[in-house]
């Protein structure tokens, strides 16, 4: 079967993107089940885009401030993504909430990775919030994106223990441990979805 086409969206260091790039390079696109066809971002000058360029991939940047309204930005992001005809879109540390147009076009095949065990600690500060709450375990969640903030159907989760010393650096080391689990989980999930297909039955994601 032909490899599925992935567009990956990033906002930062792009280590999750790198894990996907490495997985495709290690197995070959056909065996992995997917290839990355483009990388998009909401800002320029980030390591995530440099990783894409090093891998020889086309990139695009779609900044909110370059558009008159949030809706216009959302449409431009959807158009830029659609230009690469993706089967799946992956938000790998993409720190923006997409709008109606993007979801109308990519809903049900738009995946996000979040650094907490949803539905606990959604939003932009999942690691910090779990620590502030005093959680003893946290982790990461790979899920489909719906129109809420980190509320879509869960595909897979990974657990990470909180250590006493995590309070000393406001969760920086904890986030690094979560990201290690997150990268492995994301590579696994994207490969499975691409190779084996999936259905979303209410809140339940079924991968045969």
Catalytic residue set: 114
Instruction: For ligand GRF, give the closer residue by CB, 59 or 113.
Output: 113
Indicate which single residue of 33, 40, 86, 93 sits in contact with ligand GRF (rule: CB under 6 A).
93
Looking at 92, 130, 154, 205, which residue binds ligand GRF (CB under 6 A)?
Answer: 92
Binding string to ligand GRF for residues 106 to 145, with x set by CB under 6 A, is what?
-------xxx------------------------------
Burial class (CB in 10 A: 0-12, 13-18, 19+), 200: middle
Asked whether the beta carbons of 60 and 80 are under 8 A apart, the reply is yes
**Shortest CB 179 distance to ligand GRF, Å:** 5
Question: Measured from the CB of residue 196, what is the shortest distance to ligand GRF in angstroms?
Answer: 24
Q: What secondary structure letter does DSSP report for 66?
A: G
Structure tokens that stand for 2 in this block:
């032909």
CB nearer ligand GRF, residue 12 or residue 153: 12
Instruction: Give the residue from 76, 70, 150 showing the smallest Cα distance to 110.
Output: 150
Q: Quick one: which of 90, 96, 132, 134 has its CA closest to 113? A: 90
Which residues within the stretch 40-59 sit at the binding site for ligand GRF (CB under 6 A)? 48
CB 81 within 8 A of CB 107: no
Q: How far is the CB of 62 from ligand GRF (least distance, A)?
A: 17
Q: Is 80 helix (H, G, I), strand (E, B) or coil?
A: helix
Note the residues at the interface with ligand GRF (CB under 6 A). Answer: 10, 12-16, 48, 92-93, 113-115, 179, 182
């Amino acid at each position: 079967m032909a490899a599925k086409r992935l567009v990956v969206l990033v906002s930062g260091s792009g280590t999750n993107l790198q894990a996907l790039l490495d997985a495709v390079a290690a197995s070959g696109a056909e065996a992995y089940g997917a290839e990355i066809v483009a990388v998009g971002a909401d800002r320029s000058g980030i390591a995530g885009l440099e990783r894409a360029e090093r891998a020889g991939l086309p990139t695009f940047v779609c900044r909110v401030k370059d558009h008159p309204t949030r809706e216009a930005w959302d449409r431009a992001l959807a158009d830029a993504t659609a230009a690469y005809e993706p089967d799946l879109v992956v938000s790998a540390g993409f720190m923006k909430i997409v709008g109606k147009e993007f979801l109308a076009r990519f809903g049900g095949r738009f995946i996000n990775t979040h650094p907490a065990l949803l539905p606990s600690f959604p939003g932009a500060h999942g690691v910090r919030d779990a620590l502030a709450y005093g959680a003893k375990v946290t982790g990461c969640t790979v899920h489909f994106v719906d129109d809420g903030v980190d509320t879509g159907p869960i595909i897979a989760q990974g657990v990470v223990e909180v250590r006493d010393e995590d309070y000393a650096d406001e969760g920086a080391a904890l986030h690094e441990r979560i990201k290690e689990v997150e990268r492995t989980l994301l590579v696994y999930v994207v490969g499975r979805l691409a190779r084996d297909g999936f259905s979303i039955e209410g809140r339940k994601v079924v991968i045969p």
